[in-house]
Amino acid sequence: MSAVQLSLRDTMGAAYVGVIASGILHGVSLIQAWYYFTHQRDPWHTIILVSAVLLFDTVHQGLISYTVYYYVIANYGNAVTIGELVWSLLVEVYFNAFTGLLVQSFLAMRIWRLSNRNVWLTSAVCTFILAEFGCCLAFASLSLHLKTFVELAELSPLSISVNALAAAGDVLIAVILCTLLHRSRTGFHRSDTIINKLIIFAVNTGVLTSLCAVGSLISITVAGNTFWYIAFFFCMGRLYSNSLLATLNARKMIRGSADGAFSSEDNNVSIFAKGMMSMGSRHRPTTTNISIKIDTTKEIDTDVETNLTFAQPEDLTPISYKGTGSPTFGERGTKEEGSEGSSSQSIV
């Protein structure tokens, strides 16, 4: 009796925990999806990507929920059924594979753009992505012809490869993104703050999915006769979808916090560039009380017998007035038609 209880706890109990955890993560992804569709304005291809990920996630959640229902409710008390495979447990691998492919491809595209279309970096990432996707398809296709979990155990090397490639690929993507973002630092406080936040999101994206893949890898290696590796695999697709949605939804928050925190810095830079405000002023830049000093230097080449005409300082006429302050003058120092000479100006 204790052996049966142990078997149920480590098989159906583990699968049940995986379904509950996956359901919670699916609810979080739906909330994030609602926020995305109501607050973001992205191109159509990004919207299609998010919609496809949500569709695959929802179908996957339905399949794993039916799996637990089949074993725990529909065949309650039937100990023989625990050793048999149900079709939904095998088909769900396809949808997890498609979810991982879409999200990782999105991250690979970001690497392609951030690296200025570096073929080697992008190819290395795509190799892991396609290898993991191919192993998932092979595992699902081969397992559809099996009837029991004993037969499924023969595919454990392929399952180990799936989890190992998933962990390695996610770590590689996170490391490359962090490196590229770190090299993009400009030295300006505002832009570097944005980059730091993007690095944090890149790390979180890779760490969560990598830890889940490592957990599944350790479980199938150490306790391959239990369903704990299945519980980890149930949550894999949900972590991918939440990472994607969190990355997309965080863009506006990052921009808003950076604009709010460093708006005064932007004003100071603008004031310095335009010369419209004195150092230390707390008011908005104005065009009043501006002191302009113009020095004109005239050079005449006496070896050239040409009549030269220069605009004298008293010939200056205001071009336009702004506000109630001093006039703003046009560009000085240009030559009259048919004349030769030069003049220089300095505005203090």
Contact 29, 231 (CB under 8 A): no
Where do the structural domains in the chain lie, given as residue ranges?
Answer: 2-265, 291-348
Task: Write out the two tokens for 220.
Answer: 């199938």
- Domain 2-265 grouped into CATH 1.10.1200: no
pLDDT at 342 over 80: no
Q: Tokens 């980059």 label which residue?
A: 195
Task: Read off the pLDDT of each residue in 116-121 and give the average, rounded to a whole number.
Answer: 93
Residue 304 in this model has a pLDDT that exceeds 90: no
What single DSSP character describes residue 335? P
Is the pLDDT reported for residue 148 higher than 60? yes
Please check whether residue 103 is in contact with residue 53, taking contact to mean a CB–CB distance below 8 angstroms: yes
pLDDT value, residue 256: 65
| Distance between CA atoms of residues 163 and 324, nearest Å | 71
Predicted confidence (pLDDT) at residue 42 exceeds the cutoff of 50:
yes
Residue 134: left if φ>0, alpha if ψ -120 to 50, beta else—which one? alpha
Q: Left if phi > 0, otherwise alpha if psi is -120 to 50, otherwise beta: which for 280?
A: left
SS3 content of the chain, % helix, strand, coil (to 5): 70, 0, 30
Confidence of residue 291 (pLDDT cuts 50, 70, 90): very low
pTM of the model: 0.71
3-class secondary-structure state, position 320? strand
The pLDDT, as a whole number, for residue 260 is 53
At 35, the amino acid letter reads Y
Average pLDDT value for residue range 126-134: 97
Q: The tokens of 22 are what? A: 């996956």
Mean pLDDT rounded to a whole number for the chain: 78
Interacting residues of 177 by C-beta distance below 8 A, sequence separation 6+: 107, 110, 111, 114, 199, 202, 206
Length of the chain, in residues: 348
Residue 337's pLDDT band, with cuts at 50, 70 and 90, is very low
